[in-house]
Amino acid sequence: MAPAAAPAPGAGARLASVTVDAADPPALARWWARALDWHPGYADDQEVDVDPPEGEAGVPLVFVPVREPKRGPNRVHLDLDTSSPADQRQTVEFLLDSGARRADVGQGQVPWVVLADPEGNEFCVLDPRPEYEGCGRVAAIVVQALRPQELAQFWAPLAGWRQARWGPSVAALRDGRRGPYLEFVRTTTPHSVKNRWHLDVRPTSPPPGQDRVVREARAAGARPVDVGQHPRVSWVVLADPEGNEFCVLSGRGG
Whole-number CA gyration radius for the chain: 17
Phi-psi category of 87—alpha, beta or left, where left has phi over 0 and alpha has psi -120 to 50? alpha
Structure pTM?
A: 0.92
pLDDT score recorded for residue 11: 61
pLDDT tens digits for 106-121? 989 999 999 999 999 9
Sign of CA dihedral 191, 193, 199, 205: positive
Identify the pLDDT of residue 176.
Answer: 85
pLDDT band (50, 70, 90) for residue 253: low
Q: Which domains does the chain have, with CATH numbers?
A: 13-248 (3.10.180.10)
* CA–CA gap between residue 229 and residue 196 (Å, rounded): 15
Residue 85 has pLDDT above 70, yes or no: yes
Instruction: With a cut of 90, say whether residue 247 has pLDDT above it.
Output: yes
For 219-227, what is the mean pLDDT? Answer: 94
The DSSP bridge pattern shows strands 13-22 and 61-65 to be: parallel
- How far apart CA 238 and CA 227 sit, in angstroms, is 10
